[in-house]
Structure 1
Amino acid sequence: MSADQAHPDFGDDTSTRRRILSATTEVLARSGQSKLSLSEVAMQAGVSRPTLYRWFASKEELLQAFGVYEREMFDSGISKATAGLRGNEKLDAALQFIVSYQQSYSGVRVIDIEPEVVIAQLDRVIPVMRTRLERLLQGPNRTVKAATAIRVAISHYIVRSDDDDQFLAQLRHAVGIKAPAGD
């Protein structure tokens, strides 16, 4: 049961829920999942602990809702970045979004704090990301292209390197498109 289904009586106060989920991002980046403190999340969100518990009865429920929240944020960003575009322009906008989304993580990342947790989650994340990217591709090799691009993206997330400036070019190469003129 999702947090929304478990708490239907809390009305439309999605701003409080979003503040809590956004604060969870910050706390996870500092502490990791295993040391996540609901008190720290409440303080970061500017809400009382009872308010946090009205929305999320447990750490597990908060983490489950956070996973959904992150996917929704990513999907919303991709949708906005690709709105009104077609073909390779849409694909390129999606790749640009992936790069900017990953590079927007500043400072400490969960992978730096709890690599085993992130690596375990990749089992679920990689197929979802690959399927979403594959929908934007055409041709007989689209499955391989999508898988390759996602592996490149995951590699850039897991291992910091000196080639961040080539990240977008690497993704474009993986899916077989050229940079737009002027790039």
Structure 2
Amino acid sequence: MTAERATPDFGDDTSTRRRILSATTEVLARSGQTKLSLSDVAMQAGVSRPTLYRWFASKEELLDAFGAYEQHMFDSGLSTATAGLRGNEKLDAALRFIVQFQQSYSGVRVIDIEPEVVIAQLTRVIPVMRTRLERLLQGPNRSVKAATATRVAVSHYIVRADDDDAFLAQLRHAVGIKAPARD
């Protein structure tokens, strides 16, 4: 592994690595993981195949890096959305971020192309999401609330709806908070 590939660079929008990972999102949304072509990713990113291979030696390596990239994008967005907040304000900001992320995320279309691949990946994602939500909750039922909110989010991911307000209301109900007066 080269030094360039050993150091993930998610922060620089102009980096070749980030362009390739961003292009992977678009190609996955069109083709799915099974039919993902490195040539298509290179073309979408505006790089040559040798350049792509300099960063990612194989399709598996690209998909592994893409998973880390997606996780980083979610985590950094969540951190930004909840920065400086506490208690229910922080929890509500996290729920609003989940709705916004899912509704704007182009990868959502992959469920329509390869549902079996996405459902298999959910076995990894659900426990992570549940644990993160549970950290924002208090009380004896926090694990049940986090699990319920996670299932609501996954349901909206699988069967996408265009009503962001209803999605957010369902998440708030699942964790037992009311909408702030400003909503």
Shorter-chain TM-score tier: over 0.9
Q: How far, CA to CA, are the matches of 2:94 and 2:8 in structure 1?
A: 31
| Partner residue in 1 for 2:172 | 172
Q: CA deviation at 1:8?
A: 1.2
Deviations 1:66-101 (A, max 9, x none): 000000000000000000000000000000000000
**Matching residue's letter, 2:169:** A
Aligned to 1:36: 36
SS at match of 1:71: helix
CA RMSD of aligned residues (A): 1.8
Provide the TM-score with structure 1 as the length reference: 0.92
Distance 1:13 1:178 in 2: 39
When residues 17 and 9 of structure 1 are mapped into structure 2, their CA distance, relative to the original with a 3 A threshold, is: closer
> Partner of 1:70 in structure 2?
70
Give the aligned partner of residue 2 of structure 2: 7
Residues in 1 aligned to 2:170 and 2:143: alpha-carbon distance in whole angstroms: 17
Structure 2 residue aligned with 1:48: 48
C-alpha change, 1:146 and 1:125, in structure 2 (3 Å) is same
Residue 5 of structure 2 contacts residue 56 of structure 2 at CA under 8 Å; is this kept in 1?
Answer: no
Structure 1 equivalent of residue 22 of structure 2: 22
1:47 positional shift: 0.7
Q: Determine the structure 2 residue equivalent to 1:159.
A: 159
| Letter matched to residue 117 of structure 2 | V
Q: Distance in 1 between matches of 2:8 and 2:133?
A: 33
Structure 1 residue runs of 5 or longer lacking an equivalent are 1-5
Shift of 1:7: 2.2
Q: After superposition, give the CA deviation of every residue in 1:135-160 in whole Å (9 maximum; x if it has no partner).
A: 00000000000000000000001013
1-structure distance, mates of 2:36, 2:4: 27
Q: Identify if the C-alpha distance between structure 1 residues 162 and 46 changes in structure 2 by more than 3 Å, giving closer, same or farther.
A: closer
CA contact 2:25–2:106 (8 Å) conserved in 1: no
Q: Look up the equivalent residue of 1:148 and give its one-letter code.
A: T
Q: Write the letter of the residue equivalent to 2:114.
A: E
Q: Secondary structure at the match of 2:136?
A: coil
Aligned residue pair count: 178
The 5 A counterparts of 1:110-149 are 110-149=110-149
* Kept after mapping to 1: 8 A contact 2:20/2:52: yes
% identical equivalent positions: 85
CA shift at 1:11, angstroms? 8.8
Q: Does 1:58 align with 2:32?
A: no
- Say if 1:31 and 1:113, in contact at 8 Å, map to a contact too: yes
Distance 1:13 1:107, change over 3 A: closer
Give the counterpart letter for 1:7 in structure 2.
T
Q: Secondary structure at the match of 1:80?
A: helix
Query: Residues 108-137 of structure 1: CA distance to partner in whole angstroms, max 9, x if unpaired?
Result: 700000000000011110000000110000
Partners in 2 of 1:107 and 1:146 — Cα distance?
A: 23
